[in-house]
Amino acid sequence: MADDPSVPRHELNDPREIRALAHPLRLRLMEDLAALGPATATELAERVGESPANCSWHLRLLARYGFVEEAGGGEGRRRPWRVVLRSNSWGHRDDSAELMAAGDAATGMLMEQEVAALRDWMAGRRAEPREWRDAAGSSQSIGWLTAEELTAVNDEILAIMSRHVGRITDPASRPAGARFVRMVAWAFPDRRFTSGTDATGSGEGGDA
């Protein structure tokens, strides 16, 4: 998939890297750092309801594989950490069985996290300002595409969000009123239907 050229791309080709990512607390720590900026293990512990020692251990593990890094200043658990802005990818066709299993586990964990966030939004959306209720949404589509066309669709979706990725680590670039927004998209051939050119169909809908 195409990436913002300003964001380094990193292919995870070591199962240990992927397993380091596939952990609910570590994902939460990275997300908090991305959303709220640099923080110490103690500050993160207060947010996620864990002990500072446990958060510190997980942060060091994430740092070992380049997902987070020290932001400078402080000592011990009082040193701040920040997320490393890079595009992580895995799940290539030539991966070993071990790497594919680790990738499947990581993808599953990420999807569970996103579904939980969607359910949280849906449960509380009526308390949100109308402008945000109207701006949020979901869609579902079907159609016949070649592998090249599907790649292009995925590239276009990623390119749209990549326009704003720099705001994650540069708060000064965020316009007034901006909020931390999640976007999830997946597209794959439905294995129940074989390839063909004699049928078409599409549909969209949804309101979140």
Helix H, strand E, coil C: the string for the chain is CCCCCCCCEEECCCHHHHHHHCCHHHHHHHHHHHHHCCEEHHHHHHHHCCCHHHHHHHHHHHHHCCCEEECCCCCHHHCEEEECCCEEECCCCCCCHHHHHHHHHHHHHHHHHHHHHHHHHHHHHHHCCHHHHHHCCCCCCCCCCCHHHHHHHHHHHHHHHHCCHHHHCCHHHCCCCCCCCCCCCCCCCCCCCCCCCCCCCCCCCCCC
pLDDT band at 144 (very low <50, low <70, confident <90, very high): very high
Query: Looking at per-residue confidence, does 132 or 76 come out higher?
Result: 132
Query: Mean pLDDT, to the nearest integer, of 12-31?
Result: 91
Q: One-letter amino acid identity for 172? A: A
pLDDT band at 6 (very low <50, low <70, confident <90, very high): low
Is the dihedral angle over the CA atoms 130, 153, 20, 81 positive or is it negative? negative
Q: What is the pLDDT of residues 166-189, one digit of tens each?
A: 888 889 999 999 999 999 888 889
pLDDT at 194: 74
Work out the angle between the directed axes of helices 41-48 and 24-36 (0-180°, nearest 10).
Answer: 110
Domains of the chain from N-terminus onward = 9-133 (1.10.10.10)
pLDDT at 195: 62
pLDDT at 178: 95
